[in-house]
C-alpha cells in the first residue's frame, strides 16, 4: 500500500508539475542524433530523424504515463485488500 501511494504521488508530480511527463532515460537523447553526411558538403542535421525521435519520445511518455498509473492503482488496491484481510484477522484473534 505504501508503494502504491508513493507511485501515485510520483505520478501526480510528473503529470502536474512538469511540462512533459519525465522519462528518466530521455535527457537529451534526440540531440545526439548522428548528422547526415552528404558527399561534397558539410555534415547536416537530419530534420526528419529529429522529428521522428521527438515523436518516439512522446509515444514513450504516453506509455510510461499509463504504466505508471496502472501500477500505482494496482499496488494501492492489492495493498488495501491485504491490509483489510490482515486487520480483520488480527481483530478476530485478539
Residue 72: Cβ within 10 Å count: 20
40 burial level (CB within 10 Å; 0-12, 13-18, 19+) = exposed
Residue 74 C-alpha cell reads as: 494496482
pLDDT of residue 23: 81
Q: What secondary structure, in 3-state letters, does 4-56 show?
A: HHHHHHHHHHHHHHCCCCCCCCCCCHHHHCCCECCCCCCCECCHHHHHHHHHH
- In tens, the pLDDT along 45-94 reads 667 877 888 888 889 889 989 999 999 999 999 999 999 999 999 999 98
Q: What pTM was computed for the model? A: 0.70
Measured between alpha carbons, how far is 64 from 68 in angstroms, rounded to an integer?
6
Q: Is the pLDDT of residue 42 over 70?
A: no
Amino acid at each position: 500500500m505504501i508503494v502504491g501511494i508513493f507511485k501515485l504521488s510520483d505520478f501526480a508530480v510528473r503529470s502536474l508539475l512538469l511540462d512533459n511527463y519525465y522519462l528518466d532515460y530521455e535527457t537529451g537523447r534526440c540531440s545526439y542524433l548522428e548528422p547526415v553526411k552528404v558527399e561534397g558538403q558539410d555534415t547536416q542535421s537530419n530534420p526528419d530523424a529529429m522529428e521522428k525521435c521527438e515523436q518516439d519520445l512522446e509515444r514513450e511518455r504516453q506509455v510510461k504515463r499509463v504504466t505508471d498509473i496502472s501500477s500505482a492503482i494496482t499496488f494501492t488496491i492489492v495493498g488495501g485488500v491485504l491490509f483489510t484481510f490482515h486487520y480483520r484477522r488480527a481483530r478476530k484473534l485478539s
